[in-house]
Amino acid sequence: MIKKLVVLALVLLVACPVIFLPVVSGAVSTVPATAVSKTASTVPTTAVSTTVPTIPATALAASDAAPKPQLDYRVSLAPNQIWDGTIEYFKAQGFTTVVLVAAQPLPYGNELQKIKQLGMYPILDIEYIIWNGGANKSTPITQFDSDFSMWKQAGWQNVATEGGRSGDLATLKDYFATITYFNCDVCGLWQDGYRNPDVTEMSWEAYYPSEIPSIQQGALISYNLGKPQGITAGVWDKNNANLNYDTYKSLLDWSYSEGVGFTHFNVFFGLGATIADYQRLGFPAIISQLQQNYPPKPIGAWPAITVTSVRQVPNPQNSIVWDITNLGDKEAWVAPYAILHNGTAALSQVNGEAVLSQDAGSSSSAAVQQNDGYGWVRLGAGEEISILSPPTVPTNTTGAAYNVYVSYNNTSRGWLYSAPLYTAVGAKPIPTNFFGLFDYSNTDVVLLLLLVLVVFLTIALVPRLRRKRQK
């Protein structure tokens, strides 16, 4: 404790404004006040079932062996690459998400349907339209309201962007369920996007080796604010001279060793790169090698239940959040749960307790329905939902990790379970101070402040005592 306080004192004395001001914003932005109580409503009649499902005896055992961490392999493609066979190529390579790079303010409804028909998760990258490398920075974000409405009406629920214009992210949050924020290349920690409360997840542009320290610093901060983290690699020569399998593997390994656990690896084509560029730069071998240690997330059959991310958040203390999407065309019941294990034995189980957020105007049930120890939520066709667990602080964190599962109801195939999706979701108390850069508790901070107060009072009183003695 003494050693920690000494180190912390030095940090505070050198950089008090840097430390304390951001802590306030991080604490406010983690969990919205709209979380719904699990007793808020009753379950309506659905096309799937009129009652909350029951877990059968064949449920996945809590003691199952821990699998390898799984990644969402993404590819950012131009609109024409949805139709020229490129998207099928990447699906065959184990990619699970397509980030469509919007070249014009068009609905891209046909492209969206094609992505979903392949059972892949769709994200619309709108950065070229609204930002364009800063060329549009003087255009008010409100000028794009008609484009946002058009994309939303076409069925796009998830967008990606970069940029730094004031009001962008808050406006996008009014239209779209999730926002992926690209931290631009050679930008260091670009403004405050990585800790902005309206950003749903971060994707770090790893185009140059010199960017890695900034990625590591920002990812630690952003993850501890409850945002999933991932990597974006570029398909062009000048950015890949020193980026290879070893570089990407080391960065992924680092993320899991630090408890962050990157959840996606995105290969960015943009509007000009081709499969020939991808192959010439050696990406087929890079992806193949990465998938041996970080296999792709499974794509489910009907109903196409996809867990887009699982993360541990500091408020309520060390809770887990599941972000779940139904890519199918029928309603389904879903039950997320996570099992904490220490490598040899199951220690505890965490279940969903409350609905944190859901699509506006969705037909999902408004609350988690508890049954047989599992929290079930009715998820409509094409809908997304975020489910929050109760506070959980593992009692034994030595070598511990959460295996994450989602059980869902399928009337045509019985009860199905996804494979475990991650092996390291938190599994240790998240620091709530200093953006998680230092592992100090609130008690440590209070003790330090008392110590600093005593020192200042002592310094202030010593001259007075001396003057009194001289008199």
Confidence (pLDDT) at 469 = 66
First to last CA, the chain: 42
Report the b/e string of 292-304 with b at 16+ CB within 10 A. eebbbbebbebbb
Architecture of domain 72-293: Alpha-Beta Barrel (3.20)
- The pTM of the full predicted model, rounded to 2 decimals, is 0.76
pLDDT averaged over 10-residue windows placed end to end, the chain, 471 residues: 51 42 30 32 40 56 60 96 97 95 97 91 96 92 96 94 92 92 92 92 93 94 88 84 88 88 94 94 96 82 70 82 83 84 75 84 76 84 88 69 73 46 59 53 72 84 70 60
Q: Which residue, 253, 427, 275, is CA-closest to 347? A: 427
Tokens of 455: 């020192």
**Residues in Cβ contact with 221 at an 8 Å cutoff, skipping those fewer than 6 apart:** 194, 195, 435, 436, 437
Confidence (pLDDT) at 38 = 30
Domain residue ranges of the chain, discontinuous segments joined by + = 2-27+441-470, 31-62+300-417, 72-293
Confidence (pLDDT) at 37 = 33
Q: Which residue, 176, 175, 169, 156, is CA-closest to 195? A: 169
User: CA angle at residue 47 from 45 to 51, to 5 degrees?
Assistant: 45
Q: Please, are residues 264 and 231 in contact by the beta-carbon 8 Å criterion?
A: yes
What class is the 31-62+300-417 domain?
A: mainly beta
* H or E segment and range at residue 285: helix 283-293
d(CA 166, CA 43): 41
* H or E segment and range at residue 449: helix 442-470
* H or E segment and range at residue 370: strand 369-371
d(CA 299, CA 122): 13
Q: Which residue, 377, 394, 399, is CA-closest to 312? A: 394
